[in-house]
Amino acid sequence: MTTAEELRTRTADLLAAHDPAATEPLEFLRARFDAGLAWVHFPPGLGGLGAPRALQAVVDAELAAAGAPDNDPRRIGIGLGMAAPTVLRFGTEEQKQRFLRPLWTGEEVWCQLFSEPGAGSDLAALATRAVHEAGDAEGGGDGPGGHWTVDGQKVWTSSAHLARWAILLARTDPDVPKHQGISYFVCDMTDPGVDVRPLRQLTGEAEFNEVFLTGVRIPDAHRLGAVGEGWKIAQTTLNNERVAIGGHRTPREGGLIGLLADVWREQPGARTHELHQRLLQGWTDAEVLRLTAERLRQQLAVGQPGPEGAAAKLAFARLAQQLTGLEVELLAEEGLGYGDWTMSRPELVDFTGRDAGYRYLRAKGNSIEGGSSEILRNIIAERVLGLPAESRSDKDVPWKESAR
Ligand SMILES: Cc1cc2nc3c(=O)[nH]c(=O)nc-3n(C[C@H](O)[C@H](O)[C@H](O)COP(=O)(O)OP(=O)(O)OC[C@H]3O[C@@H](n4cnc5c(N)ncnc54)[C@H](O)[C@@H]3O)c2cc1C
């Protein structure tokens, strides 16, 4: 097993061979991937060393101290948090070799084509169709495994305007119940049938989009897992998504609670007993969430995330809304001002680098994106606590006969 000491030595070797001050950032990131120091728990040859996941922190600390460039994880969060663990678990060797390196270095941005009008919380109701054409030796259907033709509409697709690839769920068999007839694909966002249109949101900017898919051709070689097994594979993506949103690493009194504590210190005139109580409650909740996220990451070191990640995502969303609301209250009139309503297409969600008004408005989406808080409570009730399940009348009905 790889030890912390061995990782320090490997990191030192990487730095000696590629001085960060004299190496192009992209070249450095590629070399880091090839040295197995990108995500140390991934297999050798795919950016890792099969080492315990917890040891990533050792590498990250050494590289940060040396001023090495990072791959800007916030910009490529969907690729890192959702696509990569799914490709690693269900992809063919060829898919892993093709997709993981440029995903990790940030050369290729990913987005997630899951939600549809009419299939958000009830994602398994999705209507985007994928129809197979078999391949033949003469190049019919473009050769051996053939290809799929995809038609449908997706919505709320974060980063679609930046993405090279998308993870895509589409219905491949309308004759079986809704959870069974779905398959999972990697969609090329440069295909001429992909039309990305911005959706302006509460903050005034457009981080996400609606995406129209018309005759999009996806080679069968870009299918992840077996035909009809897409729902099972999507569970891996969704469980990882909740950890990616709710389980990120923040230092003590970091992130939103740090900003709020600073405002409290700088605004003595705004202090009241009631606001102080709320600040203390927020600080305690932030600390509990930080430690819970740490525990979640340690669990991840020994396997895939389970439904427990729903609790961290739920708590994160609630806390973000409470803390940003309190910050606006403390800042009074200044808090109500909003920096810039100009329509823009940001590359990332920047909670700490923007003003209080932005934080307050953007946090509203936290209880919807990655599964709404109501749905996460259902997951916790049913799959963590084992309480009776919601009644689902369309569970055994062929999808094409279900009410939509
Ligand atoms: C900022 C942001 C970014 C997003 N990015 C992406 C992305 O990149 N890719 C992507 O595929 N999707 C994305 N989404 C979509 C997101 O996953 C969906 O909006 C979410 O799953 C909710 O679905 P819906 O909007 O269709 O709401 P609906 O399903 O219509 O729900 C409406 C309301 O009813 C409640 N509700 C529904 N069913 C139940 C139930 N059974 N029990 C209790 N309450 C229920 C919901 O909780 C919600 O409050 C994003 C959303 C946001 C806000």
pLDDT per residue as tens digits for the range 166-203: 999 999 999 999 999 999 999 999 999 999 999 999 99
pLDDT in tens, 279-308: 999 999 999 999 988 888 777 766 677 787
Q: Is the pLDDT of residue 381 over 90?
A: yes
Residue 144 confidence (pLDDT): 82
Residue 113 confidence (pLDDT): 98
Residue indicated by tokens 């990120």: 248
Q: Is 120 in the pocket of ligand 1 (CB under 6 A)?
A: yes
Q: Is 306 in the pocket of ligand 1 (CB under 6 A)?
A: no
Whole-model pTM: value is 0.94
Ligand 1 centroid–CA 129 distance in Å is 21
Ligand 1 centroid–CA 116 distance in Å is 10
Residue 96 confidence (pLDDT): 98
pLDDT in tens, 82-128: 999 999 999 999 999 999 999 999 999 999 999 999 999 999 999 99
Residue 336 confidence (pLDDT): 82
Report the nearest atom of ligand 1 relative to the CA of 112.
9
Q: Is 153 in the pocket of ligand 1 (CB under 6 A)?
A: no
pLDDT in tens, 314-361: 999 999 999 999 999 999 888 888 878 889 998 888 888 889 999 999
Residue 391 confidence (pLDDT): 86
Ligand 1 centroid–CA 368 distance in Å is 5
Q: Using 50, 70 and 90 to split pLDDT, how confident is the model at 240?
A: confident
pLDDT in tens, 36-65: 999 999 999 999 999 988 899 999 999 999
Residue 302 confidence (pLDDT): 66
Q: Is 208 in the pocket of ligand 1 (CB under 6 A)?
A: yes
Question: Which residue among 80, 122, 156 is best mutated to probe the pocket of ligand 1, counting the most ligand atoms within 8 A of its Cβ?
Answer: 156
Q: Is 157 in the pocket of ligand 1 (CB under 6 A)?
A: yes
Residue 309 confidence (pLDDT): 85
Q: Is 72 in the pocket of ligand 1 (CB under 6 A)?
A: no
Question: Are the C-beta atoms of residues 257 and 231 closer than 8 Å to each other?
Answer: no
Q: Is 346 in the pocket of ligand 1 (CB under 6 A)?
A: no
Q: Is 114 in the pocket of ligand 1 (CB under 6 A)?
A: yes
Q: Is 184 in the pocket of ligand 1 (CB under 6 A)?
A: no
- Protein residue closest via CA to atom 52 of ligand 1: 369
Q: Using 50, 70 and 90 to split pLDDT, how confident is the model at 163?
A: very high
Question: Which residues have CB under 8 Å from 311's CB, separation 6+?
Answer: 246, 292, 376, 380, 384
Choose the catalytic residue: 241, 274, 294, 382. 241
Summarize the confidence of residues 377-388 as an average pLDDT.
94
- Nearest 5°: the CA angle 217, 161, 313 is 100
Q: Is 110 in the pocket of ligand 1 (CB under 6 A)?
A: no
Ligand 1 centroid–CA 69 distance in Å is 35
Other CB atoms within a 10 A radius of the CB of residue 5 amount to: 9
Ligand 1 centroid–CA 91 distance in Å is 27
Residue 390 confidence (pLDDT): 87
Q: Is the pLDDT of residue 372 over 70?
A: yes
Q: Is 365 in the pocket of ligand 1 (CB under 6 A)?
A: yes
Residue 404 confidence (pLDDT): 77
Ligand 1 centroid–CA 118 distance in Å is 10
Report the nearest atom of ligand 1 relative to the CA of 121.
29
pLDDT in tens, 144-154: 889 999 999 99
Q: Using 50, 70 and 90 to split pLDDT, how confident is the model at 33?
A: very high
Question: Are the C-beta atoms of residues 14 and 37 closer than 8 Å to each other?
Answer: yes
Residue 141 confidence (pLDDT): 77
Catalytic residue flag (residue 241): yes
Ligand 1 centroid–CA 376 distance in Å is 11
Residue 300 confidence (pLDDT): 73
Residue 1 confidence (pLDDT): 64
Ligand 1 centroid–CA 168 distance in Å is 17
For residue 57, the Cα-to-chain-centroid distance in whole angstroms is 20
Question: Which residue among 80, 210, 375, 391 is best mutated to probe the pocket of ligand 1, counting the most ligand atoms within 8 A of its Cβ?
Answer: 375
Question: Which residue among 203, 364, 372, 373 is best mutated to probe the pocket of ligand 1, counting the most ligand atoms within 8 A of its Cβ?
Answer: 372
Residue 301 confidence (pLDDT): 66
Question: Are the C-beta atoms of residues 80 and 86 closer than 8 Å to each other?
Answer: no
Q: Is the pLDDT of residue 259 over 80?
A: yes
Summarize the confidence of residues 2-29 as an average pLDDT.
96
